[in-house]
Amino acid sequence: MTTTYWTTAEGPLGPLLLTAAPTGELTSLSVPGQKGGRVVQGDWRQDAGPFREAEEQLAAYFAGELQEFRLPWRTEGTAFREKVWAALDDIPYGSTVTYGEIAARIGAPRAAVRAVGGAIGANPLLVVRPCHRVIGADGTLTGYAGGLDRKVRLLTHEGVL
3-state secondary structure of 97: strand
Per DSSP, the residues of 6-46 read EEEE--TTSPEEEEE-TTS-EEEEE-TT-TT-----TT-EE
Length of the chain: 161
70 closest CA partner among 50, 56, 85, 87: 56
Instruction: Number of helices (H) and strands (E) in the chain: give both, helices first.
Output: 5, 6
C-alpha to C-alpha distance for 35 and 52, rounded to whole angstroms: 26
Could you list the active site residues? 131
